[in-house]
C-alpha cells in the first residue's frame, strides 16, 4: 500500500558500483603473482584507525611506520627498492578494516602488509590476511584468543601477550626479601581484553606466593566515578594495589585515592602510566613517584637502532616524544624488513617460514614466535622516578638501577 516510485537512483548507484568493479578484471587470487617489477617501489599496505575510538594509538602507529620508511629509503630501500607506504583510515570500524585490507591485497596488489591497532581490529584484519596468504605482522593485538585460531601468517611484534605481561612484575616481587613482600593486595581492573588478563594472571601468581587478596573487582569501561572503589580500597588498606587500567581509569583511581588520602606501599597499573605526558599531567607529576607499570618499549633502552628511532621521530614530529605505540609499529616494520631481507623476495610463504624459524632483533629487544604467532618474551617493568618513566627490570634493559620502594605518600 505504500507509495512506490521509480527508483532511478537505485539504477544509478548500481551502475556506479558495477563500473567500479569491472574496471579491473583480476586473476584468481591463488595464482602466483608475476615476478615483481624490481624497478617499481615496493608498496606496503596498512589500514590504521586514524579516526574514531582508537585514533590515538592509530596516529602514533602511523608515525612509527613513517619513521621506519624514511630510514629505509635513506639507506637504499628494501631489496634495493624504495618503500612506499599506502596507509588508509579504517575509522576504528571492523567492517572498514576488512574492506581496507581486502582492497589493499586484492585490488591495489600491495607487495607486503603490516598490521593495524587494537585487538578489535586485528582479529578481522588478520583473518583477511590469512585468507589471502599474506604475512601479517601486527604491532598490537595481544588478546590471548588471537593465537588460538591456528593462523600461520600472523606474528605479534611485542614481547609478550596480555597474560604474560605482568610476569616481570611478579619476578620483581619474588626477588624482594620476604619481609618486604606485600602481605595483602587489591586488584581492581577495567573490563578490557588487555587489562583484565594481566591482572587476573598476576593475581593467580601472587596468590601462589602467599599474597592475600583483600579486594578484587572488574569495573565497566565507562566507569567515571572511582570514589567508591577508592573508599573501599582505603578501608581495606592493602599493601599492593594492582589496577588493570587502560588510561583514564588509571588517572581516575589515583585521583580518588589521593582525595581519600590512602597511599599503598606498592602501586601497579597496567598501561595508563606509559602515556607519559598525559598521565603525569592527569595526576600531577609529583604523585607519579614510585608507580609501577609494564611496557613493551622505553625511549632510553639500549636496544639496537632505538636511539636512531627516537632521534628521527623527534626530528620528524616537532621534537615530540615517541609513544610506545609508535615504537611497536616501528618494531613490526623491522620484523617484516628482517624477513624480506633474509629471504630476498616478497614470497609470502617463505617469509612466514623464515619468521617461524628465526629470531629478529628490534628496538623492543629480540622477538621470536610460537607456531601460532604468539611471541616468546617478557615485557619491561617500568617505574616513575623523579617525574620520569624509567625501566627497572629486567636488569639488562634497565635505565635506572634503583627501585623506589615503598612508594612515598601522595603529595
Partner 1 sequence: MAQFVQAVVLGVLIGGIYALMASGLTLIFGVLRIVNIAQGAFLILVATFTWWLWRTTGIDPILSAVITAPLMFGLGWVLYRFVVRRISGQAASMSVLLTFGIALVIEGFLNVVAGNKFRSATPAYFEQSFRVGDILLPKAQVYGFLAAVVVLGGLYLLLTRTWAGRAIRATSQNPSAAALVGIGATATAALAFALGSASAGVGGSILSVLYPFFPASHYDWISRLLGIVVLGGMGSLPGALVGALVLGLAETLTATYGSLQWSTLVFYLVIMAVLLVRPQGLFGARLREDVA
Partner 2 sequence: MRRSHVVALLCLVALLIYPVINPWQPYPQGVMLMMFLLAIQATSWNIISGYAGYISLGHSMFLGLGSYTAAIIALHTGVNPLWVAPLGGVTAVIVAVLAGAVVLRTRGHAFVIITIALLLSAQIVATNWDSLTNGSDGITLELPFWSADFQNIPFYYAFLLLLVLTVLFSAWIARTKFGTGLVAIREDEGKAAAIGVNTTVLKILAYAASSFFIGVAGGVYAYYQTFLNPVGSFAILGSVLIVLAALVGGRGTLYGPVIGAFIVSLVNEGATVYGGNSQTRVLIMGLILVLVVLFLPAGLLPSLSAAWRRRHPVEVSFTDQVGALSHNTAVVRSRLPVSSDRPGPLLEVRGVSKRFGGLVAVDGADLVVERGSITALIGPNGSGKTTLFNLITGAMPLDSGTITFNGKRIEKLPPWTRGHLGLGRTFQVTRLFKDMTVLQNVVAPQPDGKLRTMLADAVSGAEAARARDLLDVVGLGALAQQKAGSLSYGQQKLVELAQVLMLAPELVLLDEPAGGVNPSLLGRLTEVIRELNRDGVTFLVVEHNIPLVLSLCDPVNVFARGKCISSGPPARIREDPLVLDAYLGDDWRADAHA
Binding region for partner 2 (CB under 8 A): 1-11, 13-14, 16-18, 20-22, 24-30, 50-52, 55, 62, 87-91, 93-96, 98-100, 102-103, 106-107, 120, 123-124, 127, 130-133, 143-146, 148-149, 191-193, 196, 220-221
* Residue 30 touches which of partner 2, partner 1, none (Cβ within 5-8 Å per kind): partner 2
Report the half-sphere exposure of 17 (CA within 13 A, side-chain side): 5
Closer CB to partner 1, 329 or 397, in the complex: 329
Give the one residue of 184, 227, 399, 405 binding partner 1; rule: CB under 8 A.
227
C-alpha cell at 188: 581492581
Contact code string over 16-45 relative to partner 1, x by CB under 8 A: ------------------------------
Q: Are 259 and 234 in contact (CB under 8 A)?
A: no
Decide: is 225 part of the binding site for partner 1 (CB under 8 A).
Answer: yes
d(CA 363, CA 344): 22
d(CA 189, CA 400): 28
Q: Are 144 and 196 in contact (CB under 8 A)?
A: no
Instruction: Please say whether the dihedral angle defined by the alpha carbons of residues 394, 58, 375 and 80, taken in this order, is positive or negative.
Output: negative
What is the gyration radius of the CA atoms in the chain, in angstroms?
23
Contact code string over 278-317 relative to partner 1, x by CB under 8 A: x--xxxx--x------------------------------
Least separation in angstroms between CB 267 and partner 1 = 15
Closer CB to partner 1, 107 or 228, in the complex: 228
Q: Are 129 and 101 in contact (CB under 8 A)?
A: yes
Give which of 358, 336, 363 is closest to 348, Cα–Cα. Answer: 336
Closer CB to partner 2, 124 or 406, in the complex: 124
Residues ≥6 apart with Cβ < 8 Å to 402: 385, 392
Task: Please provide residue 198's backbone torsions phi and psi, each rounded to the nearest 5 degrees.
Answer: -60, -50
Q: Are 329 and 60 in contact (CB under 8 A)?
A: yes
SS3 content of the chain, % helix, strand, coil (to 5): 45, 20, 40
Decide: is 53 part of the binding site for partner 1 (CB under 8 A).
Answer: yes
Closer CB to partner 2, 62 or 81, in the complex: 62
Q: Are 199 and 243 in contact (CB under 8 A)?
A: yes
* Residue 235 touches which of partner 1, partner 2, none (Cβ within 5-8 Å per kind): partner 1
Least separation in angstroms between CB 139 and partner 1 = 19
Closer CB to partner 2, 78 or 129, in the complex: 129
Closer CB to partner 2, 118 or 337, in the complex: 118
d(CA 148, CA 253): 33
* Residue 255 touches which of partner 2, partner 1, none (Cβ within 5-8 Å per kind): partner 1
d(CA 254, CA 282): 9
Decide: is 252 part of the binding site for partner 1 (CB under 8 A).
Answer: yes
Decide: is 247 part of the binding site for partner 1 (CB under 8 A).
Answer: yes
Binding site for partner 1 (CB under 8 A): 51-53, 55-56, 191, 217-220, 222-225, 227-229, 231-232, 235, 247-248, 251-252, 255-256, 258-261, 278, 281-284, 287, 410
Amino acid at each position: 500500500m505504500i507509495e512506490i516510485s521509480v527508483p532511478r537512483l537505485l539504477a544509478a548507484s548500481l551502475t556506479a558500483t558495477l563500473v567500479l568493479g569491472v574496471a579491473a578484471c583480476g586473476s584468481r587470487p591463488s595464482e602466483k603473482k608475476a615476478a615483481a617489477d624490481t624497478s617499481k617501489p615496493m608498496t606496503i599496505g596498512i589500514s590504521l584507525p586514524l579516526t574514531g575510538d582508537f585514533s590515538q594509538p592509530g596516529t602514533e602507529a602511523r608515525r612509527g611506520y613513517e619513521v621506519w620508511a624514511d630510514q629505509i629509503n635513506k639507506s637504499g630501500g628494501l631489496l634495493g627498492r624504495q618503500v612506499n607506504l599506502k596507509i588508509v583510515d579504517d575509522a576504528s570500524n571492523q567492517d572498514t578494516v576488512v574492506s581496507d585490507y581486502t582492497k589493499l591485497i586484492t585490488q591495489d596488489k600491495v607487495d607486503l602488509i603490516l598490521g593495524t591497532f587494537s585487538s578489535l581490529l586485528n582479529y578481522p584484519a588478520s583473518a583477511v590476511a590469512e585468507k589471502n596468504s599474506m604475512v601479517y605482522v601486527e604491532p598490537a593485538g595481544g588478546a590471548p584468543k588471537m593465537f588460538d585460531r591456528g593462523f600461520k601468517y600472523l606474528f605479534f611484534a611485542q614481547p609478550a601477550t596480555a597474560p604474560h605481561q605482568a610476569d616481570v612484575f611478579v619476578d620483581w616481587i619474588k626477588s624482594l626479601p620476604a619481609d618486604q613482600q606485600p602481605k595483602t593486595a587489591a586488584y581492581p581492573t577495567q573490563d578490557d581484553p588487555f587489562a583484565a588478563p594481566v591482572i587476573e594472571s598476576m593475581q593467580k601468581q601472587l596468590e601462589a606466593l602467599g599474597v592475600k587478596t583483600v579486594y578484587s573487582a572488574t569495573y565497566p569501561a565507562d566507569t567515571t566515578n572511582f570514589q567508591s572503589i577508592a573508599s573501599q580500597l582505603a578501608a581495606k588498606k592493602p599493601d599492593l594495589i594492582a589496577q588493570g587500567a587502560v588510561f583514564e581509569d588509571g588517572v581516575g583511581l589515583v585521583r580518588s585515592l589521593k582525595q581519600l588520602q590512602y597511599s599503598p606501599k606498592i602501586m601497579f597499573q597496567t598501561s595508563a602510566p606509559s602515556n607519559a605526558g598525559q598521565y603525569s599531567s592527569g595526576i600531577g607529576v609529583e604523585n607519579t613517584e614510585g608507580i609501577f607499570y609494564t611496557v613493551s618499549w622505553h625511549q632510553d633502552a639500549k636496544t639496537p637502532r632505538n636511539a636512531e628511532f627516537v632521534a628521527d621521530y623527534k626530528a620528524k614530529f616537532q621534537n615530540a616524544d615517541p609513544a610506545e605505540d609508535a615504537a611497536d609499529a616501528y618494531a613490526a616494520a623491522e620484523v617484516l624488513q628482517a624477513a624480506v631481507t633474509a629471504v630476498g623476495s616478497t614470497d609470502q610463504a617463505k617469509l612466514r617460514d623464515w619468521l617461524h624459524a628465526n629470531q629478529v632483533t628490534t628496538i623492543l629487544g629480540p622477538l621470536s614466535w610460537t607456531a601460532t604467532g604468539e611471541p616468546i618474551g617478557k615485557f619491561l617493568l617500568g617505574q616513575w622516578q623523579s617525574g620520569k618513566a624509567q625501566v627497572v627490570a629486567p636488569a639488562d634493559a634497565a635505565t635506572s638501577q634503583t627501585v623506589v620502594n615503598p612508594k612515598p605518600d601522595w603529595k
